[in-house]
Amino acid sequence: GKSSIKDQELPPSPTFKVVCSSDWVEAAVLGGAHGIHVKEHHLSQIPSIRERMSATNSNCSCWIGTSAHSVESAVNSYREYQPDYYFVGTCFLTASHPEKTSEADLEGPTLPGKVQRALSTVAVEQESSSGTPKVMAIGGIDASNCHIPVELGADGVAVIRSVLQAEHPATVVADMQCNMKAGVKSRTAKERGESGAEAPTPSSAS
């Protein structure tokens, strides 16, 4: 006989986090956003932003993130403000940064991994209760290259155009997740040898 949608086993619904730019803190507070992405020139506002967001969203944790374009800037901001995540790039050529016209102008796909390792060391030194912040590669990321920064040490990727401008966004996301998992597997094999150790699941933000 025919089965209805209710009778079918459906995949679990994804969990979404709404994170606003630090240009829109008031809107984020009033709208109940889950967090704020703090621009680098707004870093000094992180303590006050965290206090406001935590007071408004007392029933859930507040995500505070920022960007970094060097290991030094990431370490310095983490020591002082302890963001929960970082967007690190620019990894590949992208229309978001038209001033970077060649690979020589880019920070490159190796930087997110370098930042992740440096922050991991600092987190241990500071005995951070929240652990190492997530490091997401950004800049020109798509399904064809998302595995590269992940293989080099990034926790995941942040994307905009490759998903939002795709004819079938869900398919692109699925392809990226598959390719990132392959990147993690390759990284794990290089770091630990073929030990069969379980690899972490990479993240994506769009």
Q: Which residues pair with 157 in a beta bridge?
A: 137, 204
Q: What is the pLDDT along the chain (206 residues), one digit of tens a residue?
A: 444 444 445 455 556 678 899 999 999 888 888 889 999 999 999 999 988 888 876 656 789 999 999 999 999 999 999 999 999 999 999 999 999 999 999 999 999 999 999 999 999 998 887 789 999 999 999 999 999 999 999 999 999 999 999 999 999 999 999 999 999 999 999 887 755 555 566 766 65
Residues pairing with 88 in the sheet: 68, 137
In this structure, the number of other CB atoms found within 10 A of the CB of residue 110 comes to: 15
Tokens of 10: 């459906």
Q: Do 151 and 137 contact (CB within 8 A), yes or no?
A: no
**Is the CB of residue 78 less than 8 Å from the CB of residue 70?**
no
pTM: 0.83
